[in-house]
Structure 1
Amino acid sequence: MTDVSRLPGAYEHLWDWQLEGSCRQAENSLFFHPSGERGAAHKAREEAAKAVCADCPVRIECRRHALATREPYGVWGGLSEDERHVLLAPRHRQPVA
């Protein structure tokens, strides 16, 4: 018989917050831009996604997840791809020798 005593326990508690997300009631396409989307259409879709996030009960957990995993796409926790990129950018860049 296989000894599972050394295996880690269940991790669903780390993901349970996703079940409470306001985004679950919206279309995925609201949070992830289609290829080539630019200008006013991009801004309007992104603002609509952020409006869903604004009242979300798990917005902070979602934001923390996106920043911790460096989620490259979509609106997560009310932050766009570009906003997350700025927050994660190194503050002190070393000069190239």
Structure 2
Amino acid sequence: MWNILGDGPLTSGLQAPDRVGGDVLHLLQDEDDGVLGWQDRALCAQTDPEAFFPEKGGSTREAKRVCTSCEVRSECLDYALANDERFGIWGGLSERERRKLKRRAV
């Protein structure tokens, strides 16, 4: 599944120990269901990622259309705002729209 962050699977960098105990498995499950677990339910994970990162001057219409019916839109936008994402469509907003939103909040 595509990771909205664009840096590989959600578990990249994690290596399973030779013997996985219940506690270790539980921790990995909590990570997926917790902070970034929303990415698995994101509609963008099922569509062309290039639509969410158009070239300068390219259309954002298709990505925003997908976002309007996505159940994790607010989590996505919160993530982008908290992590100062500078590129792409996140939570249905472009980088310019997110900057305006942040300025109004201050």
TM-score, structure 1 as length reference: 0.70
Distance 2:52 2:101 in 1: 19
Size of the alignment, in residue pairs? 77
Identity of matched residues, %? 39
For the pair shown, which has the larger CA radius of gyration, 1 or 2? 1
Q: How does 1:3-42 map to 2 (within 5 A)?
A: 12=31, 13-34=34-55, 37-38=56-57, 42=58
**Structure 1: 5+ residue runs without aligned partners?**
1-8, 93-97
Structure 2 residue corresponding to 1:57, chosen from 71, 76, 79: 71
**Structure 2: 5+ residue runs without aligned partners?**
1-26
1:79 is matched with 93
Indicate the SS of the match to 2:84: coil
Distance 1:47 1:70 in 2: 22
Greater RCO structure (CA 8 Å; 6+ sep): 1
Distance 1:76 1:90 in 2: 18
Distance 2:64 2:49 in 1: 13
Distance 1:89 1:69 in 2: 15
RMSD (Å) for aligned C-alpha atoms: 1.9
1:69 is matched with 83
CA displacement at 1:91 relative to structure 2: 7.2
1:19-43 deviation per Cα after TM superposition (whole angstroms, max 9, x unaligned): 0000011111100022xx32xxx2x
